[in-house]
Structures are given as structure tokens and as C-alpha cells.
Structure 1
């Protein structure tokens, strides 16, 4: 890819990061037509469509390959400039990282606080279910991810962080109203709180409990980790809450002998990047403390 015009490659990366041609133009200090022309010229050079002009924009398979290259290139360039002392004073490195919502709400931010102040880093966090964050790595949208996938994405390394434990809980009033009787019989009829439609923890718990596939009838979707736990505490339904979020909430454990454990992994691109290595070390240290990694 040495013959690819780097200004066009960087322009494509800006379009993907900003999710629009107009915002990419503002970041690059050029006009939107100039951004469109650069991307079109790059597509003509490669002979393939790289990005779908939707809202937000979407990469094609060829676009994903090129964006991975572009991100690696810009990261290596920034690290090289820093080592040579050619960067501006205090010029930060931007690291896009995918994190599942429960980690973000509990142990992950303290991990970032432990990252050394030098070299300066700008964190660009993307939140998604841990079962899906690896796709953001594959698409080149992030450089590292907290994921439930132990198999490394192509071009990435992987290390186990530990286990996030979840407990089936509800408020005392909710349990008294809905769960007065054998749990396996009563729970499928009780209202359930779920994070979003990717969230399979509650249904997985029911399958283990009843040995049948019994989706609940009343399902509330609360797509924010802290608000999810608050909704369960408020009696909106029962749910699987991280053990790390139980302190200070008046919740009743429905099946103390049946926790659900989700193994978490850190995947990152195989780059010799000091900022990325510093973040990886801080995340691994925090995981050892909080997740038993």
C-alpha cells in the first residue's frame, strides 16, 4: 500500500471516525466537496467502493481493510514523531477503545486514571455489548476492546482479564409480589429488565434455571448500566446485575447459588505503541484487582 496517497487515506479515516463527510471536513479544515473528492479518488485508485454514503456512513469490506491500515499508519507515525521529539508540546495520542457498558460503569474508568500522564492520551471510548465489541476491532473502528471473545481478531493479540460475575436480583417488594413460590415456576412470568436486545443474560439464566427456553412476557429495556441496576432496585423487574454494582442497593438475591460469570478479554492491535501498551498494562492491573484476572 506504499503507493496510496496518505492524504486520501487519512481523509477516509476522518470520515469513519466522524461518521459524516461534513464533520470530517470540519476536522480536516477543508470543504465537504474536497473530502468527497479525496474519498472518490481513493476508491478509483483501488477500484472498489470503500464507504457507503449512508447516515451514519458504513464501510464496505474493502473499506474495513483500508481503515485498519490507516489507523495503524497514523498510530505508528504519531509514535515515531513523539520518539523523535517532532510532535507539538503536549500533543495527545487518540486511542479508540470499545468497552462493554458494565465494565465502563464499574472498574474500567479507574483503570484509565492509572495510565501515566505522559505521553498524553485522548480516550475515544465506544460502548457495546461484550459479545459484539470484537466486530469494532475487525472493522478498524477501534484499536483495542474489552470483549467476551477469546479468539483474537486477525492482527490482534488477546489476554484474559478475568470474570465479571452477575447475580439474579430484585427488590424485596417485587420478590414478594411476583416470586412467592418455586423460582423456576414463578420467574418466567415475572417482568424482566434487560439492557438492550443484545442482552442475553436474563434469558440465559432462565434457561439454566428451568432447562427450557422460556422468554418472559413483560420486558423492559434500560440501555444504561447504572440506570439498569436502579430500575431493578425500583421494582420495575428482576435482572442480572454485576456483583460490583450490588453494594448500596437494597436488592434480594433470587438464587445465590446460581451466579452467572462472563469471562472478559483485552484484545488490541499488534502495534509497538507505547501509549497503547501503557493503557493495556493499566487495564490488566485493574482487572486483576476487580475481576480476579
Structure 2
């Protein structure tokens, strides 16, 4: 097993994060030549090229696990230093969270930790956040991926439950005055505008296929922000799949109505580094507790 050098690993991570050897050198308070020498020495130890020398530099497939290792060791080193010296430095925890969870239940769950943990939140689709865990960019993620990323643990949180909603005026215009009794007809859904989050948002497509409607047919409004997406539906730009946590008040007040009673459930899981720190454990506990109250259980 190779004896990894922490200084060399830090040089690799700094170059990968900042994009150039010059920027990495400034961050590490050394010369660019020293950064280059450390990375070359690490490549000799690894027996592989670890960085693509482009602008910006990027880790190779062989380099990604070592970048992740560098970030994990830095977190563990900082955690051990705080415990041994009693220093009052604030630990940093980086998380990937999908926009709907961030808007509804994650921020309230993390708020009590704000005075003792520096949180760096990356908004990422629940289907893609595993990539950030894999390369070490984040320490934990609320994700739809049930299979743990290498070097991580996983546990179920519950499901985010989505319902097809629209304003009463939109429903009446596109589905007829009697849509509540006659139901939403496929022909009307094929022409009624729909709001989608971005090109990777397939929730509306899944629901349309259940109704035997080709998802490519309706006109689409792309609104790539969770709060703005809900606002677009409230303003009548189109219908959209909204989580119950976000739309309950609008439904109760009659500002939004359900097009049907069927739902689309997205299972959510918590994945985190297997290498644990006190700060990461505190974040995991907060999310785990909040999910019990906020999310319906899977199945």
C-alpha cells in the first residue's frame, strides 16, 4: 500500500479546486514549482497521471480518488486538531442538496447548527449529487441514489411526494369547466403548457406518461429555481409537479388545485463519507431527525 504524503495530496487538491498551479501555489503559500514537484512525486507514487495539464487543470480518473482522499484527510486533521488543542475554529461541512429539499425542510433542519458549523450547500439535482460525493467535492448529500458511492454510507430518509398542481383558472381554461368531474383528458394535456425545472427534470414527464401523453408534445416553460418554479405555477404559466411541503398552504387556500390525486414519489437517501467527523455527524443527525417529521416513509 502506498505511503501517501499529505503535502502532495494537498497540492493535488488545491490544483484541482483552483484550476492552475499558480493559484494552488498562492493558496498553499509555496511556489508554482513546488506545487508541480509535489504533484509529480505523487504521480510517481501512484504510478499514474493524476491531472490533465489543461486550463483549467482537471483530475484524471486516477486522480479523482486521491483528490477525495485529500479532502477527507484535511477534514479529519482539522477535526482532530480542534479536539486536541481546544481551538475554537469553526468546522466546515459541504453538502449537496436538491432544490426542493433545500427550500422546504433542509434549511430549517440545519439552522440550529449555524453558530458552530460553517455550511457550504451546493444545490444539485438529487439524481446527480452522487458525482459530487464521488470526487470529494461534498462530504454528504441528500440524494436519490440508494447504492452507496465508494467510501460512503447510505441510509433512507423518506420520499419527496409530488402532485400535479395548477391554478383554478389555468385548469378551467385548458381542461374545461367540468374538469373536476370529467377528469383531465389526454388530448388537453398534450397542448396545455407545463413548467419544468430544467432539461434534467423528468417528474412531469413521468406523470404525463401515466396519463398516456407523449411528454414531447406540450409546450414547456423552464424555470430553474425551486421557489421560482412554484411561483410560476401560482402565476398560471403552466401546471407542474410540486412537493406537498411546498404547496400545502396554496392548496388549503384554493390558490392551487390538484389535476388528479395520483402522486410521484422520489425516494431520498442520506449519503456521507465513511470517514466521520463530529461536525458531519451533527449534520447527519439534524437531517435524520427532520426527515422523520417532514417526509413520508418510502413504500
- For the criterion TM > 0.5, the same-fold answer is yes
TM range (shorter): 0.7 to 0.9
TM-score (norm 2): 0.86
Give distance in 2, aligned partners of 1:72 and 1:28.
17
Q: Structure 2: where are the runs of 5+ without partners? A: none
Distance 1:80 1:207, change over 3 A: same
Residues 88-137 of structure 1, C-alpha deviations (whole Å, 9 max, x = no match): x32122222111111111111111113384xx322121121101111211
Aligned to 1:143: 139
Answer yes or no: is the 8 Å Cα contact 1:16–1:141 preserved in 2.
no
Q: 1:100 corresponds to which residue?
A: 98
Q: Equivalents in 1 of 2:15, 2:257: separation in Å?
A: 48
Please report how far the alpha carbon of residue 252 of structure 1 lies from its aligned counterpart in structure 2 after TM superposition. 2.0
After TM superposition, the score normalised by the length of structure 1 is 0.88
Query: 1:38-85, CA deviations, whole angstroms, 9 ceiling, x for partnerless residues?
Result: 434433443422233556653321111111211221122122212212
Given the alignment, which residue of 262, 265, 273 partners 2:266?
Answer: 262
- Aligned residues: CA RMSD: 2.3
* Distance change (3 Å), C-alpha of 1:40 and 1:173: farther
Provide structure 1 residue ranges, at least 5 long, that are not aligned to the other structure. none
Of 152, 158, 162, which residue of structure 2 is paired with 1:162? Answer: 158
Query: Hey, what does 1:187 align to over in structure 2?
Result: 189
Query: How many residues align structurally?
Result: 287
Query: How has the CA–CA distance of structure 1 residues 27 and 178 changed in structure 2, closer, same or farther, with 3 Å as cutoff?
Result: farther
Give the drift of 1:24. Answer: 3.8
Instruction: Trace 1:1-293 onto structure 2 (pairs within 5 A).
Output: 3-18=3-18, 21=21, 23-30=23-30, 34-53=34-53, 57-85=57-85, 89-115=87-113, 117=115, 120-180=116-176, 182-210=184-212, 213-249=214-250, 250-255=255-260, 257-292=261-296
